[in-house]
Chains A and B, each alone.
Chain A
Amino acid sequence: MDEQTKQFNLEIDKVSGEAFLSAKGGDDNWNKVLESYGIQPLTKDIKDALLNSEMKIAKGAFPIELRKVYEKIIEKHSATNSAELKNVLNSFDMDGKVKAYFQKIKPFGGMSDIFKNASTTMTKYSQGMQKEKHSTMKCKNCGAPRLEEMQYDDCLFCGSKLFEPV
């Protein structure tokens, strides 16, 4: 790996680490990082709206702010003359990177979902169960009961078919 590519990777790792270590929704240190790249932090209203949205976070800066920093870093390095770095920049998976960051900062809430989902099907498979049945196979012609356990052919009394052919 050439020096320029190494520097790019280090810078990406550094800002990702700073975003992760920031307080929930960002803090002064994170704001300094944003400032160093000329990015305005989200306004308080937007931050409040995001914190109350369905996309919960347990810690760290908002993914959207980190994405903006990544974009600035890519822009900064785009004038490079290194073919290797150009290749890295072209194949940089922005969505994947931001998603991976979100996976790290989201709260652990899977367990409540597991039990919530389970409770909806709690008795589903116990419905429609049939009670015991007790009967005697009788000849449809004369009404004589079946007399042998292995009697699957004709009625022993009148000779009619005891079972209908399938």
Chain B
Amino acid sequence: MASEQLTARWDGFLNKLKERFNEILGQAENPMDNIITGLQYDTVTIHNVLTGLKNQTVEQLTQKAQDGWSKMQMELLKSLSVFSQGTEYNKMMALIEWMADEFTRFEVRIYAKAARKVLENVKAHIDEKKMHRCTQCGAELPIKIFSFVAVNLKCDSCGSVNTYQPDDRIRAMEYYVINHLAEESALEEKIKGQKDKSAQKEYYRKYYGYLMNNVPDKKDFYNRDLEERLNNPFFS
């Protein structure tokens, strides 16, 4: 087969894989919306669905592209077009990279949508106007309902220590809501960071910055994590 014909066949094959990728994710939109509508206070189901979809898109199509490349390489050798091997191989690698990036965008978008639904459900469940009073003297206590760790508060009036444990739904939001929204805020940096170390640091700054702003109770904890990722040679 002439080398132009081979290239055209290879391009056609890679285009079909790309179309298939778009088709699967396009078909997943509606059933995914139905799943999100039915969520309560966690996003575990979304994780399960995305794992399956990633297998059917990124993993299986990458495998198909690599299998196709083995055949294409043989054909190139037969047609003595060995010098175009690099160009054709790079086309496949670009497609594999594109699928991985697009899936990350899809995944982060879906998680963020699910996170907003969970937040809506938690807000509907929690009474934000509820007054918290000291168990000993009844004085009003400045308890923040949207806190993510148990706190000990000393009553200004009688001095007793009141222990407050937030609702489990609120504590779970740290992972099921805020984490996903933080990922959404740093999405493009996350994608760039997979190939570029300095962009990866920018991703950590943005991701942890979002967490620190939205979970002030754990600001020190997140800051320590951020510093570790920015300065530990293991991460950079």
> Closest approach, in angstroms, between the C-beta of A137 and any C-beta of chain B?
7
Asked whether B78 is an interface residue with its Cβ less than 8 Å from the other chain, the reply is no
Could you tell me which residues of chain A, from 75 to 122, have a CB within 8 Å of some CB in chain B?
110-115, 117-119, 121-122
> Closest approach, in angstroms, between the C-beta of A155 and any C-beta of chain B?
12
Asked if A114 contacts B136 (CB within 8 A), the reply is no
Q: Which residues of B contact A126 (CB under 8 A)?
A: 39-42, 169
Known A-B contacts A111-B24, A136-B162; A145 and B168 likewise in contact (beta carbons under 8 Å)? no
Q: Which residues of B contact A146 (CB under 8 A)?
A: 160-161
For the complex, give the distance between the alpha carbons of A75 and B52 in Å: 42
Q: Which residue of B lies closest to A124 (CB)?
A: B44
Known A-B contacts A111-B27, A111-B56; A118 and B161 likewise in contact (beta carbons under 8 Å)? no
Q: Which residue of B lies closest to A120 (CB)?
A: B45
Asked whether A44 is an interface residue with its Cβ less than 8 Å from the other chain, the reply is no
Report B84-126 CB contacts with A as 1/0, cut-off 8 Å: 0000000000000000000000000000000000000000000
Q: Which residue of B lies closest to A133 (CB)?
A: B165
> Closest approach, in angstroms, between the C-beta of B134 and any C-beta of chain A?
8
Asked whether B35 is an interface residue with its Cβ less than 8 Å from the other chain, the reply is yes
Interface size on B, residues (CB 8 A): 41
Asked if A136 contacts B48 (CB within 8 A), the reply is no
Asked whether B187 is an interface residue with its Cβ less than 8 Å from the other chain, the reply is no
> Closest approach, in angstroms, between the C-beta of B127 and any C-beta of chain A?
10
Question: Which of B45, B132, B163 touches A118 (beta carbons < 8 Å)?
Answer: B45
Q: Which residue of A lies closest to B56 (CB)?
A: A110
Asked if B160 contacts A147 (CB within 8 A), the reply is yes
Asked whether B145 is an interface residue with its Cβ less than 8 Å from the other chain, the reply is yes
Question: Which of B48, B136, B172 touches A117 (beta carbons < 8 Å)?
Answer: B48
Could you tell me which residues of chain B, from 42 to 67, have a CB within 8 Å of some CB in chain A?
42, 44-45, 48-49, 52-53, 56
Asked if A145 contacts B152 (CB within 8 A), the reply is no
Asked if B35 contacts A119 (CB within 8 A), the reply is yes
Q: Which residues of B contact A122 (CB under 8 A)?
A: 35, 38-40, 45
Q: Chain B interface secondary structure, helix, strand, loop or mixed?
A: mixed
Asked if A119 contacts B48 (CB within 8 A), the reply is no
For the complex, give the distance between the alpha carbons of A35 and B222 in Å: 72
For the complex, give the distance between the alpha carbons of A14 and B45 in Å: 45
Could you tell me which residues of chain A, from 136 to 164, have a CB within 8 Å of some CB in chain B?
136-137, 145-149, 151
Asked if A132 contacts B167 (CB within 8 A), the reply is yes
> Closest approach, in angstroms, between the C-beta of A144 and any C-beta of chain B?
9
Q: Which residue of A lies closest to B39 (CB)?
A: A122
Asked if A118 contacts B53 (CB within 8 A), the reply is no
Q: Which residues of B contact A132 (CB under 8 A)?
A: 145, 164-167, 170
Asked if A129 contacts B167 (CB within 8 A), the reply is yes
Asked whether B68 is an interface residue with its Cβ less than 8 Å from the other chain, the reply is no
Asked if B38 contacts A119 (CB within 8 A), the reply is yes
Asked if A118 contacts B145 (CB within 8 A), the reply is no
Known A-B contacts A117-B48, A121-B48, A146-B161; A131 and B40 likewise in contact (beta carbons under 8 Å)? no
Report B167-180 CB contacts with A as 1/0, cut-off 8 Å: 11110100000000
8 closest residue pairs by CB, A with B: A126-B40, A114-B52, A145-B160, A129-B168, A126-B41, A133-B165, A136-B135, A146-B161
11 A-B pairs within 8 Å (CB atoms) are namely A110-B52, A111-B28, A112-B31, A114-B49, A115-B35, A118-B45, A133-B164, A133-B165, A134-B164, A136-B163, A145-B136
Interface set of A (CB-CB < 8 Å, partner B)? 110-115, 117-119, 121-126, 129-137, 145-149, 151
